[in-house]
Amino acid sequence: MAQQADVFKKLVAHCKEYGFVFPSSEIYDGLAAVYDYGQYGVELKNNIKKYWWDSMVLLHDNVVGLDAAIFMHPTVWKASGHVDAFNDPLIDNKDSKKRYRADVLIEDLMQKIEEKINKEITKAKKRFGDSFDEKQFRETNPRVIANQKKLNEIHSRFTKALNDNDLEELRQIIIDYEIVDPVSGTKNWTEVRQFNLMFSTEMGSTADGAQKIYLRPETAQGIFVNYLNVQKTGRMKLPFGIAQIGKAFRNEIVARQFIFRMREFEQMEMQFFVRPGEELKWFEYWKEKRMKWHKSLGMGDEKYRFHDHDKLAHYANAATDIEFKMPFGFKEVEGIHSRTDFDLSSHQEYSGKKLQYFDPELNKNYVPYVIETSIGVDRMFLSVLAGAYNEEEIEGKDGKKETRVVLNLPPVLAPVKLAVLPLVKKDGLPELAKKIVNDLKFDFNCQYDEKDSIGRRYRRQDAIGTPYCITIDHQSLEDNTVTIRHRDTMQQERVKIEKLRDIIADKVSLREVLKKLV
Ligand code: GAP
């Protein structure tokens, strides 16, 4: 775990050093849990968004896009339940004066116990080799049995407390299992209380009677309030979906782990409107589709898992998360929720406007049910970088060992697709290199680099995840060939210049990844 924490620290430093992510307003010492994306970060983010958008909107003829405003009528947030119930349970440590989310403290404890169990299993696996029977070990090892029992107890009390909204019981779990403040090391806790996560501001001048409005905490409500506009103007028939990418804002109290939990972030959400009674079938459909979307990036299937919700929101009848193996454990990247007709019915009630759909096949009106897929762009960004970051021992100059830091990004998401590098800055090599860039820049994000030794230039490209480096040497002038170096294997091959476009397009084009999804 310590090693993993170390990797995470290095990843954060790497993001800054190589122009992926900077702290916001850094010259003023930053703003907590707010970040800016640098020159490579913005390219990676745009590529993630395009992959999502095209997979939703281009590949489904019954899914269309939308771009709703961030500001919405304040009653939207009353109807959605956010004004009354978009809360986190908070607890303060009286000694350190630090504030924590009570649920996160308990979840962290459960994760620690699970890690202890896994450690025992890994140790035993090593000791017993092929003859190891994990099931039997779990049922007989006293330490594993004791930890599993403890875990089950905490889990069932925790789930019940969350479902009952029982803040006292949450505190009691913290007390009973002797959770200490990581800063002060004490158990001197306050009561648990609720804290609303929405940011508000005022619209209009005070003299005119300014209106309190909220910065949207999710993009979904913009879709719900436009559902009939889109259905009617697009002549959409159920089932159909509306997809949207945009900023969301939450006054997160425990903002930590870099861009994992931010106060300003971006979501890619799709609401899929279905006939009542068919929602669980569509829930399964989108679960499978979304997992395939993640796995098609080729980062390793074992890095993903589903986590079904123990606590269902009062309006949901099924919910699951897609989790990714981050350096700090498996964490939610995307949520898939069956939201019933809660949102549309509630907006119908608060607005007094009918939001029903006329189903020509059933010859009746009803409020559709909704399946939602909701993924954070920033979390996806973090998962991609965490999965791609690698430090490799390689043989350097004079046979000496050196470390190569490489981002093995899925080529389709890489910010720069190819770097064109003249071996020397003379003899017409830069001219030929620039000619190649000028020819390929309409197809790919290319970079020209002539500074430093070729080895250092390769390292710079490895560090930003460029899948291909094209090197121009003297032979290139004679026979119109260049070497192409593959980032992951570092293998080089000689190819004709006129073949470059096809070779690279084959590996980096979105088309190839999208084809795997259908
Ligand atoms: N409309 C449903 C909804 O907003 P959510 O589980 O609260 O559901 C969906 O959020 C996704 O948005 C999460 O899976 C996560 O990827 C992202 N997300 C939520 N809060 C975030 C935060 N504070 N910082 C970064 N991403 C966040």
Can you tell me whether residue 384 is helix, strand or coil?
A: helix
Q: What is the DSSP letter of 102?
A: H
Residue 396 confidence (pLDDT) = 77
Cα of 267 vs centre of ligand 1, distance in Å, is 7
Q: Could you give the CA distance from residue 518 to residue 510 in angstroms, rounded to a whole number? A: 13
Decide whether any atom of ligand 1 lies within 6 Å of the 332 Cβ.
yes
d(CA 259, CA 496): 42
Residue 3 confidence (pLDDT): 66
**Confidence category of residue 206, pLDDT binned at 50, 70, 90:** low
| 75 alpha carbon – ligand 1 mean position (Å) | 22
Look at residues 463, 462, 464, 468 and name the one whose alpha carbon lies nearest to residue 483.
468
Average pLDDT over residues 154-178: 93
pLDDT in tens, 22-36: 999 999 999 999 999
Please give the CATH superfamily to which domain 416-515 belongs: Anticodon-binding domain (3.40.50.800)
- Does the pLDDT value for residue 2 go beyond 60? no
Decide if pLDDT at 362 tops 90: yes
What is the CATH code for 1-72+197-391?
A: 3.30.930.10
Q: Is the CB of 378 under 6 A from ligand 1?
A: yes
C-alpha to C-alpha distance for 254 and 237, rounded to whole angstroms: 42
Q: What is the mean pLDDT of residues 90-116?
A: 93
Nearest CA to ligand 1 atom 27: 376
Predicted local distance difference test score (pLDDT) of residue 256? 73
Give the confidence band of 68 by pLDDT, cuts at 50, 70, 90: very high
Pocket test for ligand 1, best of 260, 265, 330, 377 (most atoms within 8 A of CB): 265
For the record, the structure tokens of 489 come out as: 């294997």
Report how far ligand 1's centroid is from the alpha carbon of 16 (Å): 24
pLDDT > 90? residue 221: yes
Chain region(s) in the chain for CATH 3.40.50.800: 416-515
pLDDT band, residue 305 (cuts 50/70/90)? very high
Burial of 137 from C-beta contacts in 10 A (0-12 / 13-18 / 19+): middle
Is the shortest distance between the CB of 347 and ligand 1 below 6 Å? no
Distance from Cα 332 to the centre of ligand 1, integer Å:
9
Would you say the CB of residue 333 lies under 6 angstroms from ligand 1? yes
Q: Residue 405: is its pLDDT beyond 60?
A: yes
User: In whole angstroms, what separates CA 310 from the centre of its chain?
Assistant: 21
Residue 265 CB–ligand 1 contact under 6 Å: yes
Nearest residue (by CA) to ligand 1, atom 26, is 376
Looking at the predicted structure, is the pLDDT value of residue 11 above 70?
Answer: yes
Quote the ligand 1 centre to 376 CA distance (angstroms): 6
CATH label, 87-194, candidates 3.40.50.12780, 1.10.3720.10, 3.30.70.2190, 3.30.40.230: 3.30.40.230
Using the structure block, give the residue that is written with the tokens 């940011």: 199
Of the CA atoms within 13 Å of residue 192, those in its CB half-sphere come to 24
Whether the CB of 162 sits within 6 Å of ligand 1: no
Cα(356) to centroid of ligand 1, in Å?
A: 28
- Closest by Cα among 382, 405, 396, 394 to 464: 405
Which CA distances in Å does 479 have to 107, 483, 497? 63, 12, 9
- Candidates 373, 426, 412; CA nearest to 46 is 412
380: three-class secondary structure by DSSP: helix
Cβ of 252 below 6 Å from ligand 1: yes
- DSSP conformation letters of 88-99: EEEEEBTTT--E
Q: Can you tell me which atom of ligand 1 is nearest the CA of 374?
A: 9
Rounded Cα–Cα distance for residues 401 and 362 (Å): 71
Atom 10 (ligand 1) nearest CA: 374
Q: pLDDT digits over 437-481, tens only?
A: 999 999 999 999 999 999 999 999 999 999 999 999 999 999 999
- The protein residue whose alpha carbon is closest to atom 20 in ligand 1 is 261
Residue 375 CB less than 6 A away from ligand 1:
yes
Ligand 1 and 264: CB distance under 6 A: no
Query: How far is residue 64's CA from residue 60's CA, in Å, rounded to a whole number?
Result: 8
For CATH 3.30.40.230, the residue range(s) in the chain are: 87-194
Beta 369-376 vs 418-422: how paired, if at all? unpaired
Distance 262 CA to ligand 1 centre (A): 9
Predicted structure pTM score: 0.89
How much is the mean pLDDT over the chain? 94
CB atoms within 10 A of CB 435: 13
Question: What is the atom index within ligand 1 of the atom nearest the CA of 255?
Answer: 23
* CA 14 to ligand 1 centroid distance, Å: 24
- Ligand 1 neighbourhood includes 319 CB (under 6 angstroms): no
d(CA 344, CA 364): 17
Query: How many of the other CB atoms lie within 10 Å of CB of 298?
Result: 13
Choosing from 374, 375, 383 the residue with most ligand 1 atoms within 8 A of its CB, the one to mutate for a pocket test is 374
Portions of the chain given CATH number 3.30.930.10:
1-72+197-391
Query: Does ligand 1 come within 6 angstroms of the Cβ of 279?
Result: no
Dihedral-angle region of residue 359 (phi above 0 means left; psi in -120 to 50 means alpha; beta otherwise): beta
The answer to whether the CB of 331 is under 6 A from ligand 1 is no
